[in-house]
Amino acid sequence: MCLAIPARIVELEGDRAVVDTMGNQFKAKTTLLPHTKLGDIVLVHAGFAIQVIEEEEAKKTWQLIAEIDEFSDTQNRVSG
């Protein structure tokens, strides 16, 4: 459960942000990263941004997640 997911900050008001990861948007807080800005890509864990990362790095993770989703989709199809 220590996994953090990369997401882009698409709205920011005080420490309340809306972030986007692969088209899914959800709320997150930036309390632990006081200097983040709109447009930054952050690692989000349990509703909190914990680190800013480069887009390149985020893309690698997003790609991995997409592969896993496809993988479990195929598995579901096979078993279902």
Partner 1 sequence: MLERIYKAQQLMDAACKTLGRQINIMEVCGTHTVAIFRNGIRTTLPKAIKLLSGPGCPVCVTDQGYIDIVLDLAQRDDCIIATYGDMIRVPGSNGSLETKRSAADVRVMLSSTDALQLAKDNPDKTVVFVAVGFETTAPATAVVIKEAAEEKRENFCILSGHKLVVPAMRALLAEKNDKIDAFLCPGHVSVIIGYGAFNEIVNDFSRPCVVAGFEPMQIIEGLAEICRQLSQGKAELKSIYTAAVTEEGNTTAQQLIAECFEPADGCWRGLGRIKKSTLKLKDKFSRFDALKRFNITETPVEDTTGCRCGEVLCGLIDPPQCALFGSACVPETPVGPCMVSSEGACAAWFKYGRKKQR
SS3 percent helix, strand, coil of the chain, rounded to 5, is 30, 40, 30
12 near partner 1, judged by CB under 8 A: no
53 near partner 1, judged by CB under 8 A: yes
66 near partner 1, judged by CB under 8 A: no
62 near partner 1, judged by CB under 8 A: no
Say if CB 37 and CB 12 are below 8 A apart: yes
Q: DSSP 3-state assignment of 69?
A: helix
Q: How far is the CB of 77 from partner 1 (least distance, A)?
A: 17
Report the alpha-carbon distance of residue 36 to residue 51 in Å, rounded: 9
Give the residues lining the site for partner 1 (CB under 8 A).
1-4, 26-27, 29, 31-34, 43, 45-48, 50-51, 53-54, 57, 60-61, 64, 68
